[in-house]
């Protein structure tokens, strides 16, 4: 760039503008001539000028003035030059690539980091006019450049994951309103502290655009703005920022009370097991069940007795659009004719018919709804489960919330069959888009009775609803989450470590598929589950020699901790190796022990507790 | 053919069990019972609490909210009353099974709930610090709730079968209430 110290800002801006709209293009198959020949040929034939051309690999890379030029150049694809057909391609869009824009971006990025304090998580954008770097580049000398500066800085800041910003200082910037800085709310929605002191903001209306935006704003400083003398100033700021605690260094809200109003005391957790015994067995059950549900549903029929019940209920209510990833246009075509949602289905006859009693009736419904894929193993965080004992039947009740993908149409499409029979009456406006396959969220409840050999499902209810991101994931707060390898919820085998895989789990699940069904209501042979006495899930007592680093311990669930403990006591391996063993065997105790026994002679001495 | 047979079997079983007039009203009773529970959850009148409590079985009812267990229904109701702002539930799906031989029924319910996000608790008090304490508080003249966006809820109930005969006294044996989706624009914090 030739205008580094150019006093004439307008011409520099114009030039910058031009550079920013440039488009990078590439030309292939030019090899039989020089680059200059190619350029001359192009400008002569296409009347499009390509500048800053140079050779990059097989391509000649250059820039044209605009997107339109680039597109019209594409129309010349195949034109003969020096014995070859030329091929044009657009390599990148405007802006980021032009040399001029690039250097401005680098300059602003460096500026951002200069003004950022990682310790206090504070981005200081105060008094920008006095910044020597910015002044020297002429970036803050006129109103028009200044109004572009803030959005540009915001945009850049939002693309820098290292900038974790809780506080922003925008004092002393001669701001008359916030129109130039409104994007602050998009870039830092979880901002906690904002300083706008020593500006000229005078009207509430300009701030109104931030209503409902900074939901976590705790402190606001606006002293030395005309607005702060207004009678309504305090109440307006409290209205705009519902969680504001400190305004101009004065406490305006009781923080403790505020926190209790805006939080629900029952914090959400992904798992609850009434006692330690039913945790692993219900996890196993659900994992195996859904595996078969996805691959071969008919295999599951052995779990039901003639008295077992199954029904589907469609909850077609659309989640608010502010729910992450929520499906705003779900289709329930395959399910609706089976839905037993009694708040929607008024015909008592249908309610009766849609309850499947016994394996035969169930197999029909199973075949009439889409094929699915659940992701319990590869995406365990997407599922949540509660298990409580059910003393009246000497069993337990398992509820799983999560999502599945619809991977294929049902084997038996009852929809089509029935509509063929009564096409004239019911087929108005029926179209196949109602049967679009997508992912769905679901809630599924099993009432399970253990028998001597396995289990029987006494009752099963499935709610299918529009897909929506689940509520139990951590909120995307201001702190970026460290990507941590999540241990799988259910057994997984590590193909990389055959020595530990010596005994793969049997293909048949251990829940006693096809085990003899017992009549309902008869006390089963197994001792009943102990009733719920201690309400809180008690922390697993760990062996004193098993010293896990805290950050490892906190991301393990109680089942995993218990498994580690058991393995540790059994194998006398130290914490690190116990963890490795557990992880490599997919958190399956039997696999782990087998693997340990098979490779015990090869394990180094230091792997054991001294 | 197969389908025909299956359907006939189903129909027959419906007739065979109590698929008559009483059966007709049972699913309506079931739905009304669930609606009644949701109404209780939304009620801000503390004097109605005992009525709500009477629904839960006095000898060991399991209450799990957002995977957090409560030893007693009273502990749950107290926390709901004092720690959660006014709510509004809307029923979206109900299904239920009577488990033969156990005298119990299982309910699978879906609903949505929104919270008063106007910054006031159930008693109408906000968190603001008065500038001059002489000024009378307006806590008593209740302002209208400022409803936020809807959360999704999945609720499972285990009850005694007599609930379907309109007997609600001490019928709830297990109450499992979990939020399944949450709107990003809500001010409520559930984490």
What is the pLDDT, as a whole number, of residue B38? Answer: 97
Q: How many domains does chain A have?
A: 4
Q: What is the length of chain A?
A: 610
Domain boundary among A44, A61, A90: A90
Least Cα distance to A110 among A168, A156, A173, A170 occurs for A156
pLDDT tens per residue, range A72-116: 888 888 888 888 888 888 887 544 444 456 677 888 888 888 899
Closest Cβ–Cβ partner in A271, A319, A521 for B100: A521
Contacts of B128-134 with CB under 8 Å at 24 or more apart are B128/A238, B128/A252, B128/A253, B128/A254, B129/A251, B129/A252, B129/A253, B129/A254, B131/A234
Query: Is residue A445 domain-shared with residue A305, that is, in the same domain?
Result: yes
Least Cα separation, residue B53 to chain A (angstroms): 19
For residues A487 and A495, give the distance between their C-alpha atoms in angstroms, rounded to a whole number. 16
Inform me whether the C-beta atom of residue B162 falls under 8 Å from chain A C-beta atoms: no
Locate the chain A residue with the closest alpha carbon to B6.
A361
Least Cα separation, residue B46 to chain A (angstroms): 18
pLDDT tens per residue, range A494-540: 333 333 333 333 333 334 433 333 333 333 333 333 333 333 344 55
Quote the DSSP letter at residue A319. P
pLDDT tens per residue, range B29-39: 999 999 999 99
Domain boundary among A221, A240, A262: A262
| In-domain check, residue A422 | no
Question: In DSSP terms, which residues pair with A357 in a beta bridge?
Answer: A309
| In-domain check, residue B104 | yes
Both tokens of A523, joined, read 């006390």
For residues A9 and A14, give the distance between their C-alpha atoms in angstroms, rounded to a whole number. 8
pLDDT tens per residue, range B75-103: 999 999 989 999 999 999 999 999 999 99
CB-CB under 8 Å, A386 with B97 = no
pLDDT tens per residue, range B43-68: 998 889 999 999 999 988 999 999 99
Q: Which residues of A touch B186 (CB under 8 A)?
A: 322
Q: How many domains does chain B have?
A: 1
Residues of chain A with pLDDT under 50: 1-7, 94-99, 417-424, 477-538
Q: Which residues of B touch A251 (CB under 8 A)?
A: 129
Inform me whether the C-beta atom of residue B142 falls under 8 Å from chain A C-beta atoms: no
Which positions 338-397 of A are in contact with B (Cβ < 8 Å)?
Answer: 340-344, 348-349, 351-353, 355-357, 360-361, 364, 384, 386, 388, 390, 392-393, 397
For residues A445 and A441, give the distance between their C-alpha atoms in angstroms, rounded to a whole number. 14
Q: What is the length of chain B?
A: 191
Query: Is residue A86 domain-shared with residue A200, that is, in the same domain?
Result: no
Residue of A308, A310, A320 to mutate, testing the B interface (most B Cβ within 10 Å of its Cβ): A320
Containing structural domain, residue A137: 99-262
What is the pLDDT, as a whole number, of residue A176? Answer: 87
CB burial readout A546-569, b (16+ within 10 A) else e: bebeeeebeebbebbbbbbbbbbe
Query: Is residue A39 domain-shared with residue A72, that is, in the same domain?
Result: yes
What is the pLDDT, as a whole number, of residue A481? Answer: 39
Inform me whether the C-beta atom of residue B1 falls under 8 Å from chain A C-beta atoms: no
Domain boundary among A211, A238, A262: A262
Given a contact cutoff of 8 angstroms between Cβ atoms, the answer to whether B106 and A461 are in contact is yes
What is the pLDDT, as a whole number, of residue A83? Answer: 84
What residue has token string 């218990």? A562
| In-domain check, residue B12 | no
For residues A263 and A256, give the distance between their C-alpha atoms in angstroms, rounded to a whole number. 11
Burial (0-12, 13-18, 19+ Cβ within 10 Å), B50: exposed
Query: Is residue A200 domain-shared with residue A149, that is, in the same domain?
Result: yes
What is the pLDDT, as a whole number, of residue A531? Answer: 36
| In-domain check, residue B45 | yes
What is the pLDDT, as a whole number, of residue A493? Answer: 34
Locate the chain B residue with the closest alpha carbon to A448.
B99
What is the pLDDT, as a whole number, of residue A96? Answer: 45
Interstrand relation of A219-221 and A193-195 (parallel, antiparallel or unpaired): parallel
Contacts of A492-495 with CB under 8 Å at 24 or more apart are A492/A377, A492/A586, A492/A587, A493/A585, A493/A586, A493/A591, A494/A583, A494/A584, A494/A585, A494/A586
Query: Is residue A144 domain-shared with residue A245, that is, in the same domain?
Result: yes
Query: Is residue A297 domain-shared with residue A169, that is, in the same domain?
Result: no
How far apart are the two ends of chain B, measured CA to CA in Å?
A: 53
Given a contact cutoff of 8 angstroms between Cβ atoms, the answer to whether A86 and A26 are in contact is no
Q: CATH number of the domain that A27 lies in?
A: 3.30.70.330
What is the pLDDT, as a whole number, of residue B2? Answer: 42
Least Cα separation, residue B161 to chain A (angstroms): 12
Containing structural domain, residue B71: 22-128+145-181
Query: Is residue A138 domain-shared with residue A287, that is, in the same domain?
Result: no
What is the pLDDT, as a whole number, of residue A313? Answer: 97
Both tokens of B123, joined, read 């008693």
Inform me whether the C-beta atom of residue B127 falls under 8 Å from chain A C-beta atoms: yes
Task: Tell me the torsion sign for CA atoms A579, A581, A586, A592.
Answer: negative
CA-to-CA dists, residue B31 to A153, A247, A271, B35, B173, angstroms: 55, 49, 28, 6, 17
A341, A346, A350, A355: CA torsion to nearest 10: 30
What is the pLDDT, as a whole number, of residue A605? Answer: 79
CB-CB under 8 Å, A392 with B102 = yes
Both tokens of A311, joined, read 């029904």
What is the pLDDT, as a whole number, of residue A523? Answer: 34
Number of cross-chain residue pairs from A and B with Cβ atoms under 8 Å apart:
265
CB burial readout B56-88, b (16+ within 10 A) else e: bbeeebbbbbbbbbbeebeebbebbbeebbbbb
Which positions 498-557 of A are in contact with B (Cβ < 8 Å)?
Answer: 519-522, 531-532, 535-537
Inform me whether the C-beta atom of residue A323 falls under 8 Å from chain B C-beta atoms: yes
Q: CATH number of the domain that A444 lies in?
A: 3.10.450.50
Q: In three state form, how does the secondary structure of A555-567 look?
A: CCCHHHHHHHHHH
Q: Which residues of A touch B126 (CB under 8 A)?
A: 257, 261
Inform me whether the C-beta atom of residue B176 falls under 8 Å from chain A C-beta atoms: yes
Least Cα distance to A291 among A487, A497, A473, A505 occurs for A505
Using pLDDT thresholds of 50, 70 and 90, give the confidence band for residue B133: low
CB-CB under 8 Å, B191 with A268 = yes
CB-CB under 8 Å, A441 with B180 = yes
Q: CATH number of the domain that A555 lies in?
A: 1.10.8.10
What is the pLDDT, as a whole number, of residue A13? Answer: 61
Question: In DSSP terms, which residues pair with B178 in a beta bridge?
Answer: B154
What is the pLDDT, as a whole number, of residue A508? Answer: 38
Q: CATH number of the domain that B94 lies in?
A: 3.10.450.50
Using pLDDT thresholds of 50, 70 and 90, give the confidence band for residue B132: low
What is the pLDDT, as a whole number, of residue A359? Answer: 95
């Amino acid at each position: 760039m030739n205008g580094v110290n150019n006093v004439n800002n307008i011409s520099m801006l114009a030039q910058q503008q031009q550079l920013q709209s440039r488009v990078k293009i590439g030309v292939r198959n030019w090899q039989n001539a020089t680059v200059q020949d190619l350029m001359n040929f192009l400008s002569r034939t296409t009347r499009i000028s390509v500048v800053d051309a140079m050779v990059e690999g097989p391509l000649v890379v250059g820039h044209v003035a605009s997107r339109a030029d680039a597109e019209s150049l594409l129309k010349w694809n195949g034109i003969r030059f020096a014995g070859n057909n030329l091929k044009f391609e657009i390599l990148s869009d405007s802006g980021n690539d032009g040399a001029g824009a690039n250097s401005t971006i680098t300059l602003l990025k460096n500026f951002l980091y200069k003004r950022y304090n990682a310790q206090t998580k504070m981005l200081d954008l105060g008094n920008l006019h006095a910044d020597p770097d910015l002044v020297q580049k002429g970036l803050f000398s006129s109103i028009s450049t200044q109004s572009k500066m803030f959005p540009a800085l915001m945009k850049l800041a939002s693309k820098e994951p290292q900038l974790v910003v809780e506080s922003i200082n925008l004092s002393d910037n001669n701001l008359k309103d916030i129109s130039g800085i409104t994007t602050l709310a998009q870039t830092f929605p979880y901002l906690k502290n904002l300083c706008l002191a020593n500006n000229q903001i005078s009207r509430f209306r300009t701030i109104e655009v931030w209503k409902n935006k900074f939901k976590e704003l705790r402190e606001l400083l606006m002293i030395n703005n005309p607005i702060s003398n207004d009678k309504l100033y305090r109440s307006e700021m409290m209205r705009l920022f519902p969680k504001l605690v400190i305004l101009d260094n004065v406490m305006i809200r009781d923080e403790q009370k505020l926190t209790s109003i805006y939080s629900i005391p029952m914090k959400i957790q992904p798992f609850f097991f009434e006692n330690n015994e039913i945790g692993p067995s219900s996890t196993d059950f659900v994992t195996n069940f859904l595996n078969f549900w996805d691959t071969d549903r008919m295999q599951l029929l052995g779990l039901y007795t003639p008295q077992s019940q199954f029904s589907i209920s469609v909850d077609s209510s659309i989640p608010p659009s502010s729910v992450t990833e929520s499906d705003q246009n779900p289709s329930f075509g395959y399910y609706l004719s089976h839905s037993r949602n009694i708040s929607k289905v008024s015909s008592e006859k249908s309610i009766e018919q849609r309850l499947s009693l016994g394996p035969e009736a169930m197999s029909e419904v199973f075949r009439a709804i889409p094929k699915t894929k659940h992701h319990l193993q590869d995406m365990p965080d997407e599922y949540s489960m509660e298990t409580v004992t059910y003393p009246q039947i000497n069993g337990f009740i398992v509820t799983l919330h999560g999502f599945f993908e619809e991977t294929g149409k049902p084997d038996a499409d009852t929809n089509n069959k029935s509509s063929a029979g009564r096409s004239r009456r019911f087929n108005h406006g029926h179209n196949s888009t109602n049967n679009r396959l997508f992912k769905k969220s679901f809630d599924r409840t099993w009432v399970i009775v253990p028998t001597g050999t396995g289990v029987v499902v006494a009752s099963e209810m499935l709610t299918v609803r529009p897909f929506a991101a689940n509520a139990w994931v951590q909120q995307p707060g201001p702190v970026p989450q460290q990507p941590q390898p999540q241990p799988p919820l259910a057994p997984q085998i590590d193909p990389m470590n055959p020595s530990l895989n010596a005994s793969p789990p049997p293909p048949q699940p251990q829940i006693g598929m096809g085990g003899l069904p017992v009549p309902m209501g008869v006390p089963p042979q197994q001792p009943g589950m102990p009733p719920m006495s201690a309400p809180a899930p008690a922390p697993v007592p760990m062996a004193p020699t098993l010293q896990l680093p805290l950050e490892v311990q906190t991301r393990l669930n109680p089942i995993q901790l218990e498994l580690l403990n058991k393995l540790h006591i059994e194998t006398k391996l130290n914490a690190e190796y116990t963890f490795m063993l557990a992880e490599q065997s997919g958190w399956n105790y039997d696999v782990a022990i087998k693997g340990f026994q098979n490779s015990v002679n090869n394990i180094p001495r230091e792997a054991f507790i001294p | 053919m197969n389908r025909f047979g299956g359907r006939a079997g189903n129909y027959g079983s419906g007739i065979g069990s109590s698929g008559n007039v009483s059966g007709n009203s049972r699913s309506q009773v079931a739905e009304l019972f669930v609606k009644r529970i949701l109404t209780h959850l939304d009620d801000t009148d503390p004097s109605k609490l005992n009525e709500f409590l009477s629904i839960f079985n006095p000898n060991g009812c399991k209450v799990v909210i957002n995977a957090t267990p409560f030893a007693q229904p009273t502990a749950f109701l107290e926390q709901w009353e004092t720690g959660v702002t006014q709510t509004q539930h809307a029923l979206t799906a109900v299904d239920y099974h009577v488990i033969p031989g156990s005298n119990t029924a299982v309910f699978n319910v879906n609903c949505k709930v929104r919270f008063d996000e106007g910054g006031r608790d159930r008693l109408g008090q906000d968190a603001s610090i008065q500038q001059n304490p002489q000024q009378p508080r307006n806590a008593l003249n209740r302002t209208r709730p400022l409803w936020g966006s809807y959360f999704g809820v999945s609720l499972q109930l285990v009850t005694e079968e007599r609930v379907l005969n309109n007997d609600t006294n001490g019928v709830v044996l297990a109450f499992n209430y979990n939020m399944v989706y949450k709107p990003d624009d809500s001010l409520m914090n559930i984490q």
